[in-house]
Amino acid sequence: MAVKTRQRKSLDPRLKATVPASVRLVQLTLRWSVVIASVLAAITLGNGIDRLKAETPLDITWWGLFTAEVAWTAMSAGLAIFQGLTVQSRAETRFRRIAHDAWFRLGPMPLRDREGAQLDLATNGAMRVARYRAEFLSNSVASLSSTVVVCIVMGVFFGWWVAGWMSLVIVIGPLLVGFFHSRTKESGDEFRASQMNLRATFLEGVNALESLSFAGASRSYARSLAAASEKHRQKIMSLLAENQMLIFVMDIIFSMVALLLAAYMGLVGIHNGALTLGQAISLVIVTIVMVAPVDLIGQFFYIAIGGRATQRQYADLLAEADLAPYIQISDEAILESGTQADIRIDDVTAGWEEDADLLRNATWHIPSGSHVALVGPSGVGKSTLSALIQGHIRPEKGRVIVAGKNTRSYSPSDIARVLAVVEQRTYLFNGTIAENLRLAAPEATDQQLWQALERANLDADVRGFTAGLDTIVGDHGARLSGGQAQRLALARAFLKQVPILILDEPTSQVDLGGESAILEAISRISEDRTVLMIAHRPSAQHNMDAVFELKEKKVVAINGKH
């Protein structure tokens, strides 16, 4: 019976490019420089011991050479540390940019309910993988390869019989590191999954703090958070136990064997006359120089465990983004014929997952300038239809044309240039009213901002604030009422000056009084625009030209013209 072997995927070139090969070569050179300078200083020290034993004074040449070698060691070590920190910082920035770009390619729909994972990947995750690629990998290669350099130096200065025996020992280090490297993949993945779950749980609690307090559920949530924290603690202990085992094995098997062998060869060399006392002492010091970098691999192996797992998460994110459901084509793509502010859905079948279609052979046309409402129970596919129009998902069959742009040929960012969306729960940044408005029109003047606020029926409220346009809205608009936050989102949509407006349950989060102000604002900003309102409340449908229902995976007219 044939045995299937799992093919090892090569690392994404974009992840490799976070630490270029030229930079790794510089790191390698600096680490080698530290080792070579340290070895030469040890040999010079041994020569000095032999001189003193022979009652020969240490002249200025010896002191100058020894001082230069020590200075060389210190300078190389300092440069290696500085360069390593610089490379790590730059790599961290590159990883955050990679995540940022991938998330924007994916769009908002695939990222729903992944805030905790996103936060972890962009903060702690970026730091871990940058430290892994910029510090651990380069140092590991330098440490393991420097043992070969040291063996060559041993052969030149102490005799090739010394280098031959020591070369048998240095093979142990890479074998041990490789063994533990292969054994810790699963624990690294479990550690990262636990860490991301804990961060997501904590973030969820912070966002829902007010609701938890009002519901009296704080203690219950605290217990669930404590359970997640305990689970993560156990994963950390498991990871550290594996790292400590590597340190123990490296110290006992590699470092101790190497030092005992060096001491033994030094004594044998002195006894046979092959080595002087100074050379024997130098041999032991050089052996310490050789094993110290390899020993550090064991001490910092936990960086590799977490870093590799995070690197796989970045690779998975890039692979997901590369399969994003749209084709990136510039504005030079050919526009479909038709009115440039209408929406056309032709024989579309679509859903979030395979074999789970929420739309099947659906056809619908929203003429330019018309105001229509779409109704239907939760889960029937209204959000899917909205995501199709915005280009966040592609139809399995058929085509969706928005203002003449086929969503198969344009990216969501291209589609976004012709429409504005006001979500059910609008997002406001913790800045001023003016800053939130200028997200839609960065060059807008204060006069234009006031005009937008007037259209959204919010100007009187803002004039009543002490700071006016400079009023801080708080996280998610916490300092505004629900109705004020929604009208601010409508003002922002008005500023965008696009021909199509999509309103997703704009009145669901407000009372009837707030609903009246919002509906009046919608009426004002909807002039000369094509409007699609997803709504449940009958009052929100009254001013629409037509009302449609999403039923049995198709769009059906309730009243008005289809």
pLDDT tens sequence across 174-202: 676 666 666 666 666 676 677 777 777 77
What's residue 134's pLDDT?
86
Between 97 and 6, where is the model more confident?
97
Mark 250-272 as b/e (b = at least 16 C-beta within 10 Å). beeebbeebbebbeebbeebeee
What's residue 449's pLDDT?
93
Residues near 156 by Cβ (< 8 Å), separated by ≥ 6? none
Residue pLDDT, tens place only, 251-310: 666 778 888 888 988 898 898 888 889 889 998 998 888 877 766 666 566 677 778 888
Name beta bridge partners: 533.
Answer: 373, 503
Name beta bridge partners: 326.
Answer: none
Q: Let me know the angle formed at the C-alpha of 371 by 366 and 376, rounded to the nearest 5 degrees.
A: 75
- Express as a percent the part of the chain with pLDDT over 90: 12
For residues 374 and 197, give the distance between their C-alpha atoms in angstroms, rounded to a whole number: 37
Rounded mean pLDDT, 383-394: 84
Which alpha helices (DSSP H) does 184-276 contain, by range? 185-207, 209-215, 218-249, 257-272
For residues 400 and 381, give the distance between their C-alpha atoms in angstroms, rounded to a whole number: 15
What's residue 4's pLDDT?
38
Most confident listed range (68-72, 155-159, 267-271):
68-72
What's residue 181's pLDDT?
60
pLDDT-wise least confident of 300-304, 368-372, 436-440, 526-530: 300-304
**Sheet with strand 546-551: strands edge to edge:** 419-422, 500-504, 530-534, 371-375, 546-551, 554-559
Q: Are 198 and 228 in contact (CB under 8 A)?
A: yes
| Gyration radius (Cα) of the chain, Å | 34
Rounded mean pLDDT, 539-561: 76
What is the number of residues in the chain? Answer: 562
Say if residue 543's pLDDT is above 80: no
Say if residue 333's pLDDT is above 50: no
Please report which confidence band the pLDDT of residue 329 belongs to, taking 50, 70 and 90 as the band edges: very low
Say if residue 62's pLDDT is above 60: yes
For residues 262 and 250, give the distance between their C-alpha atoms in angstroms, rounded to a whole number: 16
The CB density around residue 154, as the number of other CB atoms within 10 Å, is 27
Residue pLDDT, tens place only, 341-350: 889 999 888 8
CATH class of 343-559: alpha beta
What's residue 538's pLDDT?
63
What is the DSSP track for 464-489?
Answer: HSTTGGG-B--GGGTTS-HHHHHHHH
Say if residue 339's pLDDT is above 60: no
Q: Are 438 and 425 in contact (CB under 8 A)?
A: no
For residues 546 and 253, give the distance between their C-alpha atoms in angstroms, rounded to a whole number: 80
For residues 5 and 120, give the distance between their C-alpha atoms in angstroms, rounded to a whole number: 33
In the chain, domain spans: 13-322, 343-559
Mapping DSSP to helix (H, G, I), strand (E, B) and coil, where does residue 241 land? helix
For residues 389 and 369, give the distance between their C-alpha atoms in angstroms, rounded to a whole number: 16
What's residue 300's pLDDT?
63
Q: Which CATH architecture group holds 13-322?
A: Up-down Bundle (1.20)
For residues 561 and 559, give the distance between their C-alpha atoms in angstroms, rounded to a whole number: 7
Mark 13-43 as b/e (b = at least 16 C-beta within 10 Å). ebbeebbeeebbebbbebbbbbbbbbbbbbb
What is the DSSP track for 264-282?
Answer: HHHHHHHHHTSS-HHHHHH
Residue pLDDT, tens place only, 474-508: 877 888 888 888 889 889 988 988 899 998 877 77
Q: Are 144 and 173 in contact (CB under 8 A)?
A: yes
For the entire predicted model, the pTM comes to 0.69
